[in-house]
């Protein structure tokens, strides 16, 4: 049965994917930034192609991408039966459906920064 689950979904057993976007022209999420960009999506709600891409990012993580001037990096944290796991991915490797779940928010004065 477990083999059937893996065959039917590359992200079987995965739950929520927390997404944080860092960098860009405004320095989103960086120390001193007043803007943070984050969101979440359920792995099961992704298309089969996006599930495969996401699985590849976690199973075969590339080295942390170098900073690209005005480019974004994504911290992806999966919640699964094995606990949380985070990878860092360049904007080019993250599927559109995951990038689109991110929302920008202004950090009020005096609020603690997450970074």
pTM of the model: 0.78
Residue-wise pLDDT tens for the chain (115 aa)?
Answer: 344 444 567 888 788 999 999 887 766 767 677 888 899 999 999 999 999 999 999 988 777 666 677 788 899 999 777 789 999 998 889 999 999 999 988 888 765 555 4
CB 51 within 8 A of CB 45: no
Residues 6+ apart with CB under 8 A from 34: 106, 107
Can you say whether the dihedral through the CA atoms of 56, 91, 63, 113 is positive or negative?
Answer: negative
Q: What are the sequence ranges of the domains in the chain? A: 2-106
CA distances from 31 to 22, 49, 72, 74 (A): 10, 34, 15, 16
């Amino acid at each position: 049965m477990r083999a059937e689950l893996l065959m039917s979904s590359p992200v079987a057993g995965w739950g929520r994917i927390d997404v944080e976007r860092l960098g860009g022209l405004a320095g989103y999420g960086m120390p001193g930034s007043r803007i943070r960009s984050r969101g979440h999506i359920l792995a099961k709600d992704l298309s089969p192609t996006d599930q495969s891409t996401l699985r590849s990012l976690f199973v075969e993580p590339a080295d942390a991408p170098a900073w690209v001037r005005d480019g974004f990096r994504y911290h992806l944290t999966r919640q699964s039966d094995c606990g949380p796991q985070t990878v860092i991915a360049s904007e080019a490797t993250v599927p559109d459906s995951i990038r689109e779940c991110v929302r920008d928010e202004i950090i009020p004065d005096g609020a603690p920064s997450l970074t």
